[in-house]
Amino acid sequence: MNHSTYRPVLWAFLLATLTFFAYTCVFAFRKPFSIATFGGRQLWGISYQTLLIISQVIGYMLSKFIGIRFISSLRREKRWKIAFLLIGTAWLSMLFFALLPPVWGILCFLVNGFMMGFMWGVVFSYAEGRRSTDFIGSALAVSFIFAGGFTRSVAKWLMTDWGVPEHWMPFATGAVFALPLALFFYLLEKVPPPDPADVEERQQRVAMTSEDRRLIVRRFKHGLIALGLIYTLLTVMRDIRDNYMGNMWEELGYAGQSAIFTRSETMITVVLLVMMSSIVLIRKNIRAFQLIHGMIAAGFMLAAISSWLFFSGWLDGAIWMQSAGLGLYMAYIPFNSIFFERMIASFRLRGNVGFLIYITDAFGYLGSVLVMLAKESVDLDITWSQYYARAVMGLALIGFIGTLYALVYFSSSYRRQSDH
C-alpha cells in the first residue's frame, strides 16, 4: 500500500477520533444534570427533575424544527464560531440555573436545550459526504452513548468526591470539558473537505435552498412519514432511558456506583462501533441502505425481547439495561449517522444529511415530551424501570413493522428510478 492509499485511511481515523471526542465534550453541557434528583422537589405537583428534563427537551425540539432550515443551509465557513456561540450560551444558562431561584431553572434549561439542539448538525457537517463517512459517522453517533455514561460519571464524581452541590453540578461539569472542546473544534477546522473521489461516490453536499428541501419532501413524502414515526418511537425510548438512567440504576440496586454509567455504556459503544463502521465495506449504496434497514429492525426486536424477559422476571436487571440499550441504539444510531448518508448517495440527491436528520428529530422530540408528561400526569404506581420495559415492548413492535414498510418503500423507489 503506497502513501496515497494510506492518506485517506489516516484522515478517516483522525476525523472519526476528533468527532467522537468533540461530541463527547458537547454532551457534557447538556445531559449530566439528569443524575440529580433535587431531593424529590416538586413544582405544581410535578417532579422538579422531570420539569427540567421536559423544558430542556422542548428547547431541543424547537431547535430541531428551526434546524430543518438552519442546519440544511449551514456553510463550511465559520462553523466553529457558530458552535462556540451555541455552547457558550448553553453553558451560561447553567450558570444562571445555579444562581437563580428554582422556578427560573425551567427557563434556563429551555435555553440550554434550544442551543444544544443545533450541535449535532454542526459536528456531523464535518463528517458527511466522504467514502469513509460510514466509519466516521458511526464513531460520532456512538459517541453520545459513551458520552452519556462518561459525562454522568464525571458529574457524579464532582458531587461525591468534590462536594459540588446538585444545582452547581451542570455548570461545573461543563467547566471540566470546556478546554478539550475548544481543542477538538480547532483540530476539526484543520481537516480538509471531501476530495473528488468522495464526491463521485457519495454526491456533493451543498447548502440547501427552499426549493431543494421541497423537492425531497415531495419525492419521498410517504417514506419520510414512516421514518418520522419510527424515529419518534426511538427517540421516546432513548430519551426515557437517557434522562432517567440514574433512576433506573438506583431501582436495580446500583445506587452510588458512579462507574456503572461508563461501564455499561462503553460495552454498547464498542459493539455498535464495530457493527456500523463495517458498513463502509459495502460500496454499493443501495445495498448498504437496505442492510441498514435490517439492522434497525433487528435492534427493535432485541430491545423488545430483552424487555419482555426482564419484565417476566427471567432476565437480570443489569443485563436487561445493556441488552435493551444495545437493541435501542442498533435502531437509533443509524438515523444519526449512516442512514441518511446512504440515502442521499443512493438517490443522488442535492442536499445534506442535516436536513433529513432534523426533520425526523423534530417529531421525535415532540413525541418524547408527550410521553414524559403522560408518565407524570397519570397516577401510575410504577417505577421508571417497569415503565420503560413496558414502553419498549409496545413501541419496538410498532417500530419493527414501520421499518419493514420503509424498506419496501425505498427499495421500490430505487427500482423505479433505475428503470427510467
pLDDT tens per residue, range 296-314: 999 999 999 999 998 888 8
H helices present in 203-282, as ranges: 210-219, 221-243, 245-251, 259-277
Residue 19 identity: T
Decide if pLDDT at 387 tops 70.
yes
Q: Answer yes or no: is pLDDT of 319 > 90.
A: no
Q: Identify the band that residue 381 occupies on the pLDDT scale cut at 50, 70 and 90.
A: low
Mean pLDDT, rounded, of the chain: 85
Range of the structural domain that residue 367 is part of: 3-419
Does residue 79 carry a pLDDT above 70? yes
Residue 308 grid coordinates: 419482555
Of the listed ranges 5-9, 144-148, 293-297, the least confidently predicted one is 5-9
What pLDDT score was predicted for residue 301? 94
pLDDT given at position 291: 95
| pTM listed for this prediction | 0.77
* Residues 204-222 pLDDT 10s: 888 888 899 999 999 999 9
More confident residue, 363 or 103: 103
Q: Is the pLDDT of residue 117 over 50?
A: yes
- Which carries the bigger pLDDT value, residue 101 or residue 47? 101
Average pLDDT over residues 130-135: 87
Cα–Cα separations (whole angstroms), residue 237 to 53, 57, 61, 365, 390:
15, 14, 16, 11, 11
The CATH number of whichever domain residue 415 belongs to comes to 1.20.1250.20
Higher-pLDDT residue of 328, 114: 114
319 alpha-carbon distance from chain centroid: 22
Count up the domains in the chain and report the number: 1
Indicate the SS3 state at residue 291. Answer: helix
Report the pLDDT value the prediction gives residue 204, as an integer from 0 to 100: 85
pLDDT digits (tens, 9 = 90+) for 229-261: 898 888 878 777 776 777 777 777 776 665 666
Q: Is the pLDDT of residue 128 over 70?
A: yes
d(CA 154, CA 12): 29
In the 8-state DSSP scheme, what is residue 2? -
5 touches 132 (CB < 8 A): no
pLDDT at 5 over 60: no
pLDDT of residue 100: 94
Amino acid 1: pLDDT: 43
